[in-house]
Amino acid sequence: MTTPPPTPAAGSPLLDAHLVVTRGDFRLDLPLTIGPGEVVALLGPNGAGKTTALRTLAGLLPLSAGQLTLDGRDLDHPERRIWTPPERRSVGVVFQDYLLFPHLTALDNIAFGPRRQGLNRQRARQRAADWLARMGLAEYARHKPRQLSGGQAQRVALARALAVEPALLLLDEPLAALDAGTRLDTRAQLQRHLAAHTGATLLVTHDPLDALVLADRLVIIEHGCVVQEGSAATITAQPRTDYVARLVGLNLYRGHASGHHVRLGDGFRLTAGDPHDGDVFVAFPPSAVALHPRQPDGSPRNTWPATITGVQRHGDNLRIQLTGPIEVAADVTPSAAAQLALTPGQPVWAAVKAAETRAYPAAPV
Ligand SMILES: Nc1ncnc2c1ncn2[C@@H]1O[C@H](COP(=O)(O)OP(=O)(O)OP(=O)(O)O)[C@@H](O)[C@H]1O
């Protein structure tokens, strides 16, 4: 017997969950819905609870409270004493290190799930062969995992997860084990396969690029709770925590605005491009911060003395971390860098034009 394709009622989410888990001092409290064909990225710093959430969905960790419904079936509902083991959930998982069976060929790794769902050996192997062909790996059918490259093993793991036609596909850092070149290629292929997947997909990742390229919606958690959720565009435009700001590459401050003037918590004042009254966030990209060896003349409204604390390569530029009245990241070009002594401990002047800052209300909208 194969799992029928997902058939949710029109407009209802395929996954409808409130994942609550308590482990010692840590508590995950994550409402999560995903529609058919939708890809949601779950992002968060180390220890935020991403793996814990993934494990509850896969059936590797029971919920402490809340509930988990997939395709209309209650899979985990502690209050009603319902819990469904992993093998009876319509869930496919691609683990970070793929966890392919080392003693089975690529074909048999993929055929394993369909076999367990009740397909006979021949039909399971046929389905596996079809998946290998879709992944462009037909000639690797007889290879064992150790004979596959990282990118090929990743695609076999994806085929193995999709071959059971899961209502929910879980991807745990699916590209993390790949080198940069393979990653680019594999990301593009993964995007194609996800677009064809009619079930729900949850992608757990640290990499904002994976999230931006692969997901329709981002859910960001910190300390087990959602801090921000929405499309990449809305999150990038208005990050609401330091973690989210760093994720999208912005400097972010919280303060109190009176017109264009924003007083930050420690008394430092920034002049913002757009006027507000009340609690606001002020954000600007590192590229908006200019560094000068001496106090700059002229018109920038925001200038302050700062001290370099770190220097890293960032694409074609250098990203400079600065301390001072505010912590800030600045991107400078190699030619601008040549004018400055870019060593930790070096004093510089930072400047940001008001027009390059963005202020928006801090209260949730
Ligand atoms: N077996 C366990 N027993 C008790 N606490 C645990 C256990 N496993 C994880 N935790 C705690 O649960 C919290 C969330 O961990 P989790 O692994 O889900 O975070 P994460 O977001 O996946 O982090 P990372 O990005 O580092 O993988 C952490 O505080 C962790 O210490």
For residues 271 and 335, state if they share a domain.
yes
Domain final position from 237, 262, 278: 237
pLDDT at 364 over 60: no
Residues 231 and 175 both lie in one domain:
yes
Domain that holds residue 224: 15-90+165-237
Q: Which residues pair with 51 in a beta bridge?
A: none
Residue 112 placed within a domain: no
Cβ of residue 22 lying under 6 Å from some atom of ligand 1: no
DSSP string, 254-308: EEEEEEEEEEETTS-EEEEEEEEEEEEEEEE-GGGEEEESS---S--SEEEEEEE
Render 150-217 in DSSP notation, one character per residue.
HHHHHHHHHHHHHTT--SEEEEESTTTTS-HHHHHHHHHHHHHHHHH--SEEEEE-S-HHHHHHH-SE
- 28 C-alpha to ligand 1 centroid (Å): 10
39 vs 97, residue with greater confidence: 39
Does the residue 104 lie in any domain? no
State the closest ligand 1 atom to the C-alpha of 49, by its place in the atom list counted from 1: 18
Q: Report how far residue 212's alpha carbon sits from residue 205's, in angstroms, rounded to the nearest whole number.
A: 11
Q: Please indicate whether residue 228, judged by its CB atom, sits closer than 6 Å to ligand 1.
A: no
199 has which bridge partners?
Answer: none
Q: What is the pLDDT of residue 315?
A: 80
Region of 18 (left: φ > 0; alpha: ψ -120 to 50; beta: rest) is beta
Confidence band, pLDDT 50/70/90 cuts, at residue 299: low
Residue 233 covered by a domain: yes
Pocket test for ligand 1, best of 43, 50, 221, 226 (most atoms within 8 A of CB): 50
pLDDT of 115-130, one tens digit each?
Answer: 988 889 999 999 999 9
CATH of the domain at 334: 2.40.50.100
Angle at 2 between CA 194 and CA 112, to 5 degrees: 75
Instruction: Decide: 109 in ligand 1 pocket, CB within 6 A.
Output: no
The per-residue pLDDT for range 254-281, each reduced to its tens digit, is: 999 999 999 998 889 999 988 999 999 9
Coil/strand/helix, residue 356: helix
Token couple for 63: 């919920």
Protein residue with its CA nearest to atom 2 in ligand 1: 23
Q: What is the mean pLDDT of residues 139-158?
A: 92
Instruction: Assess whether 36 and 171 both reside in one domain.
Output: yes
Answer whether residue 122 is part of any domain: no
344 pocket-lining for ligand 1 (C-beta < 6 Å): no
Please give the number of the atom of ligand 1 that sits closest to the Cα of 206.
25
Instruction: Report the distance separating Cα 56 and Cα 70, nearest Å.
Output: 12
Mutate which of 20, 27, 52 for ligand 1 pocket (most atoms within 8 A of beta carbon): 52
ipTM given for this complex: 0.94
Residue 50 Cβ inside 6 Å of ligand 1? The answer reads: yes
In tens, the pLDDT along 196-251 reads: 999 999 999 988 878 888 999 999 999 999 999 999 888 888 899 989 998 888 89
283 and 195, same domain (yes or no) = no
| Count of structural domains, the chain | 2
233 & 260 share domain: no
Q: Tell whether 318 and 191 lie within a shared domain.
A: no
Q: What pLDDT sits at residue 3?
A: 47
Give the pLDDT mean for 68-93: 95
* 8 A C-beta contact, residue 37 and residue 198: yes
- The structure tokens listed for 126 are 């046929």
Give the model confidence (pLDDT) of 303-349 as tens digits. 999 999 999 888 888 999 999 999 999 999 888 887 787 888 989 99
Strands 269-284, 358-361: pairing kind: antiparallel
Token pair of 185 as six digits: 């290629």
Provide the percentage of residues in the chain whose pLDDT is more than 70: 96
